[in-house]
Chain A
Amino acid sequence: MTQVIEFQHVTKSYPLYHHIGSGIKELIFNPRRAWTLLSGRSYLAIEDISFSVLKGESVALIGRNGAGKSTSLGLVAGVLKPTSGVVKVVGRVASMLELGGGFHPELTGRENIRLNATLLGLRRKELNARIDKIIEFSELGEFIDEPIRVYSSGMLAKLGFSVITQVDPDILIIDEVLAVGDISFQRKCISTINEFRKKGVTILFVSHNLSDIQKICDKVIWIENHKLKEMGEAENIIALYQAAMA
């Protein structure tokens, strides 16, 4: 079994850039504050996290808001680089990191599918062959030719998800966006994710819905306070988490 995702002692801190925007006035009127800002404060998002994910596994990331889950996903997707430590990822990554991420509000659903699918790695020929399937999966009907700024959040989630399903990812990352779909869509997504699992796609799933996690994931990683707290079989970790949150 090959490792497709590997984090080795990864730390990520965000430098806070306020000082660039505070300007000269700040410097004159609040010199002490300006000095502390300039000396490079930073926010530690995750600290010394190490784990690995094997091919075909389905892993959930759970934890409080602000614990460091989205940062970890960003590191896996390649959008962020670690401050220290090594992140190794093998294969094509498709991610749904935010509702409407990868979309432009002025373009229609169809044009956005083109844009998003190309950004995720599809060539023009492949895209043309698959675009009808994507539109069908999204269940958006005539709205596909309306600009997406008129879409509801559920429609945006449907659009994003249907593009992902057709790009043949090796690793699929889903960050808290399924919560807005209605029940039939959620059911559809879960069955699609399970189909991906059968095909051997590795899944990284962030959700606060513990029952969804139990339906899709084998392993759970619990991140608390910017560090890795627990990692193991889904049922065990979920039980521990629930006990801690009670």
Chain B
Amino acid sequence: MKYSLGYLFDLAVVITEKELKVRYKSSFFGYLWSIANPLLFAMIYYFIFKLIMRVQIPNYTVFIITGLFPWQWFASSTSNSLFSFIANAQIIKKTVFPRSVIPMSNVLMECLHFLCTLPVIIFFLYVYGMHPTLNWIWGVPLIGLGQMILTLGIALMLSTLNLFFRDLERFVTLGIMLMFYCTPILYDASMIPEKYRWLVEYNPLANMVLSWRSLFMDGVINYHDIAWLYFFGALFLMMGSWIFNKLKYRFAEIL
């Protein structure tokens, strides 16, 4: 059955709505958690790294949150997508629709959460005497789209593989934690000793975080980092789609 673009859009909206409702149905604070969670972590990191270990980075709070919030989008999408097919087993086994809508809706949902955190970033910028610049208007969609492509590729790949190899959950949880420390979110890229620079050179997540940070804090659009982000994004999207397309017909059997 061939699907029209309008139908796919309606479907994505309905499934994203459903994911949002299901997540926050019995929750009192609801959407606030998506802001409170990273913010609380930012406070803890500030306490440890600025006050206790006395890292010499100016405007450390803004420094952290401009990396932490985009990271939250990526990490939540990836870990939620691991279970997304399993959680939707009912509808996958009984109805036919493009299965890729499910990880897509996870990425979209976390994107919405991320957009809700932008006002918080703006607030902290003002607190530190900085302000948002005009090029946010095209900078945010540009980097956002790159991140969406990268995250979608990884989500497709991992959610498909997790169905067949359940241990992947553990690996990914550890992997995300590991990548968090290998990405210059809590520290500046220049602080890394020479022989470990490749962690930043070949890490698409580092490109992602650095481009967000230079947009938010310095008002500069770093085309070099963004180009690498799109490159890796396209790479992962191709890999993820290939794996997904190979295995999607077996979903209903294995769920």
Indicate if the CB atoms of A106 and B93 lie closer than 8 Å: no
Docked CA distance A95–B253 (Å): 17
- Decide if A124 touches B10 in the complex (CB within 8 Å): yes
- Provide the A65-106 mask, 1 if CB < 8 A to any CB of B, else 0: 000000000100111110000000000110101101111101
| Residues in chain A near residue B13, CB distance under 8 A | 124
Q: Quick one: CB contact mask for B169-205 with A, threshold 8 Å, 1 for yes?
A: 0000000000000000000000000000000000000
Chain B residues near A158 (CB-CB < 8 A): none
Chain A residue numbers with a CB within 8 Å of B90 are: 98, 100-104
Interface residues on A, range: 20 to 34
How close is A236's CB to chain B, nearest CB, in angstroms? 32
Residues of B within 8 A of A150 (CB): none
Q: Which residues of A contact B26 (CB under 8 A)?
A: 106
Contact indicator per residue, chain A 105-116, by CB within 8 Å of chain B (1) or not (0): 011000100111
Q: A77 — nearest CB in chain B belongs to which residue? A: B96
Contact B94 A102 (CB under 8 A): yes
Asked if B223 is at the interface (CB within 8 A of a chain A CB), the reply is: no
Do B95 and A79 touch across chains, with their CB atoms under 8 A apart? yes
- The contact string, 1 if C-beta is below 8 Å from chain A, for chain B 1-30, is 100001100110111011001100110000
The reply to whether the CB of B165 lies closer than 8 angstroms to some CB of chain A is yes
Pairwise interchain contact B21-A123, C-beta atoms closer than 8 A:
no
The chain A residue sitting closest to B19, CB to CB, is: A104
B128 at interface by CB-CB < 8 Å: no
Whether B10 contacts A107 by the Cβ 8 Å rule is no
Interfacial chain A residues near B25, Cβ < 8 Å = 106-107, 147
Range, interface on chain B: 20 to 34
Q: Does A239 contact B (CB under 8 A)?
A: no
Q: Which of A13-21, A50-58, A135-143 contacts its partner?
A: A13-21
Within 8 Å by CB of B94, from A101, A111, A118, A147, lies: A101
Asked if B253 and A80 make an inter-chain contact with CB atoms under 8 angstroms apart, the answer reads yes
Contact B93 A114 (CB under 8 A): no
> Nearest Cβ in chain A — how far from B89, in angstroms?
10
Taking CB atoms, residues of chain A closer than 8 Å to B166 are 20-21
**Which residue of the partner chain B has the closest CB to A17?**
B254
Q: Among B1, B18, B93, B249, which residue has its beta carbon within 8 angstroms of that of A107?
A: B18
Could you list some 23 contacts between A and B, CB below 8 A? A15-B253, A20-B166, A77-B95, A78-B1, A79-B92, A80-B253, A81-B249, A92-B1, A97-B94, A101-B95, A102-B94, A103-B91, A104-B18, A106-B22, A107-B18, A107-B22, A107-B25, A115-B91, A118-B10, A118-B14, A119-B91, A120-B95, A147-B25
Chain B residues with a Cβ under 8 A of chain A:
1, 6-7, 10-11, 13-15, 17-18, 21-22, 25-26, 90-97, 164-166, 249, 252-254
User: Which A residues have a C-beta under 8 Å from some C-beta of B?
Assistant: 14-15, 17, 20-21, 74, 77-81, 92-93, 95, 97-98, 100-104, 106-107, 111, 114-116, 118-121, 123-124, 147
